Structure formats: structure tokens, C-alpha cells
């Protein structure tokens, strides 16, 4: 090994540290957030009608169209979901980012947030951008949606109208029944827990099918799920925490139950819930060890 001076050693150490530090900053901000992973999840359902055995559902959530999440990226995610040739495709809320409402009484703080995180109260163009991306969705038996907290913080009616204008039903504490190989399947969309409110009675009042697919943005309602029977609930909201520290988990999850429902498949009796990490993100614009996700769930008779 050649001899090097202390000055040369320190110079090399500095530049090596700078390169490693830059790489460490580039990956969670510019690489991981832009590559959505496809996750295939088999779900074994008790009492599943034979006609629904093998049914596939593409689940996307938390698109968060904003300056941080481009329409081009969302179109790529939807094209990836289309390529899976799903029987159904569903979206479970937060189609744009709206957060400065938290500081309406402090406009100067809101302005600082806008500058630091490039977040702005999303204009109508953002809503229609997202709806246009969603209009590219293709599924054999249809595409359905529910709303999230960001949608209602902005304007739930405007978001609903934009999405429905491209032919996608938005279910807000309501249901729609479709037929698959002659078998009725209820698709139930619940209101957002923080904004619309979850009204299970109202949402299920016309449902009498042996199995139902439930779109529910915030997974916290699963803790005290009141509806008996066989259901698959699809949720988002948590982003998986966006940052997951190895051997520790996510430092922060927007849930009163902490990381309990951050991500994955959960069961309680005959009811199952899958929590998706989402395809978008909110400030701070970082994902680490928690890549964006397109889920493909396949129903299987237990």
C-alpha cells in the first residue's frame, strides 16, 4: 500500500463521505419513491362463492397527485396495473395532496410549508390530472373508487365529480352490486374516518350478498369492525409509514394504533383487511425501505 499524507487521507475521507452521503440522500428521495412494486396477495375467504374463486383485484391507493407526484408517474402505475389483467380495479382515496388547511389560522406557517416542501393547496388541474390518469384503468368487471381525508380536505364533491366524469363510480357510504359469472358481488365504499365519517349501516343497507368487497381509506376502523359476515376490506392511508427503519419499523404512522395497521394482511373472524403502502407520497418526500405498491389480490375459497 503506498504511503499517503494525512492531508491526502483526510481529503479522500471527506469526498468518500460526501459521495456516500449524497447517495444516501438520492435513493430515498429520487429512486425508491418512483418505482412502484407489484405485490401479489392470495386471500383465503371462508364461504366464498365458487364463481368468485380466483377473482383478481388490482388495488391502488394514495395517488397524491402534486408537485411531488407527476401525472406521468401515475399513468405508469396504472399501466402496470392494467398489464396484470385484473378482474376488478379499485382505488381507495387520497387522489391529491392537501395539507396546508392545517394552518389556515397561521398563513405565514402555511407559506413556509409551501416553500420548503413545494406543497400547495391543489388546484382543479391536479384533480382532473388524477382523474385523467384513472380513466386509463382497465378491468374486466369494472373500476371503483372511494375517497380519503385529503380529498375531503380539498373538496370531496369536486373530487367525486372529476372521477365520476371519467366513468368511475365513487362510493361514499354507499354500495353497488355487480354480477360475476352470474354471482352477485357487493362493492361497498365507506366514508373516510377523519372527514366523511364511516357509516357502516348506511353503506350496507342494500347489501345481501354472501361476500362483499369493502373500500375503506383509513384502516383504523378495522379495530372495531361491526359488520359480521365474509368481507375483504381494502385500505390505504398509512403509506406503510413511508420510512421503515430495519429492526425498528416505521417511526411514524398516521393511526391511533401506531404501526399496528401500517401495512399488510389482517384477519378478524371471516373478515380480512389488506393495507396497501400506496403509490404516491406526501411531504417530507422520502420513502426508505417502504416502496410504493400496486397490490394484486386473488380471492381463494378457504
pLDDT tens, per residue, the chain with 302 residues: 445 455 655 555 454 444 445 456 788 888 898 899 999 999 999 999 999 999 999 999 999 999 889 999 999 999 999 999 999 999 999 999 876 554 444 455 455 555 544 544 446 888 999 999 999 999 999 999 999 999 999 999 999 999 999 999 999 999 999 999 999 999 999 999 999 999 999 999 999 999 999 999 999 999 999 999 999 999 999 999 999 999 999 999 999 999 999 999 999 999 999 999 999 998 888 999 999 999 999 999 98
Q: Is-contact 139 132, C-beta < 8 A?
A: no
Residue 71 CB neighbour total at 10 angstroms: 16
Pick the CATH number of 37-301 from 2.60.120.10, 3.40.350.10, 3.40.50.1820, 3.60.21.10: 3.60.21.10
- State the cell numbers at 134: 384513472
Q: Is-contact 117 69, C-beta < 8 A?
A: no
SS3 at position 235 = strand
How does DSSP classify residue 245?
Answer: B
Could you tell me the residue ranges of all domains in the chain?
1-34, 37-301
pTM greater than 0.95: no
What is d(CA 38, CA 40) in angstroms, rounded to the nearest whole number? 7
Q: Is-contact 212 228, C-beta < 8 A?
A: no
DSSP assignment of 126-171 equals: HHHHHHHHHTT---TT-EEEE--HHHHHH-HHHHHHHHHTTT--B-
- State the cell numbers at 35: 418505482
- State the cell numbers at 274: 389488506
Amino acid at each position: 500500500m503506498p504511503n499517503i499524507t494525512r492531508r491526502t487521507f483526510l481529503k479522500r475521507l471527506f469526498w468518500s463521505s460526501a459521495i456516500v452521503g449524497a447517495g444516501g440522500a438520492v435513493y430515498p428521495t429520487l429512486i425508491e419513491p418512483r418505482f412502484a412494486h407489484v405485490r401479489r396477495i392470495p386471500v383465503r375467504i371462508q364461504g366464498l362463492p365458487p364463481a368468485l374463486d380466483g377473482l383478481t383485484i388490482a388495488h391502488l391507493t394514495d395517488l397524491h397527485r402534486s408537485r411531488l407526484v407527476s401525472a406521468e408517474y401515475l399513468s405508469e402505475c396504472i399501466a402496470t396495473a392494467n398489464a396484470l389483467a385484473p378482474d376488478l380495479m379499485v382505488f381507495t382515496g387520497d387522489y391529491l395532496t392537501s395539507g396546508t388547511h392545517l394552518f389556515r389560522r397561521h398563513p405565514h406557517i402555511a407559506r413556509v410549508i409551501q416553500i420548503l416542501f413545494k406543497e400547495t393547496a391543489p388546484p382543479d388541474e391536479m384533480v382532473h390530472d388524477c382523474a385523467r390518469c384513472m380513466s386509463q384503468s382497465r378491468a374486466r368487471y369494472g373500476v371503483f373508487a372511494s375517497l380519503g381525508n385529503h380529498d375531503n380536505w380539498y373538496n370531496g364533491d369536486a373530487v367525486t365529480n372529476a372521477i365520476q366524469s371519467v366513468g368511475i363510480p365513487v362510493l361514499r357510504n354507499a354500495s353497488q352490486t355487480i354480477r360475476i359469472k352470474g354471482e352477485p358481488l357487493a362493492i361497498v365504499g365507506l366514508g373516510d374516518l377523519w372527514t366523511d365519517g364511516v357509516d357502516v349501516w348506511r353503506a350496507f343497507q342494500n347489501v345481501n350478498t354472501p361476500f362483499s368487497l369493502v373500500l375503506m381509506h383509513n384502516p383504523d376502523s378495522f379495530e372495531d369492525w361491526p359488520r359480521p359476515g365474509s368481507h375483504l376490506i381494502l385500505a390505504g392511508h398509512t403509506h406503510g409509514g413511508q420510512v421503515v427503519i430495519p429492526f425498528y419499523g416505521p417511526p411514524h404512522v398516521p393511526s391511533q394504533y401506531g404501526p399496528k395497521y401500517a401495512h399488510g394482511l389482517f384477519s378478524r373472524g371471516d373478515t380480512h383487511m389488506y393495507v396497501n403502502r400506496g403509490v404516491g407520497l406526501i411531504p417530507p418526500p422520502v420513502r426508505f425501505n417502504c416502496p410504493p405498491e400496486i397490490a394484486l389480490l386473488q380471492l381463494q375459497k378457504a
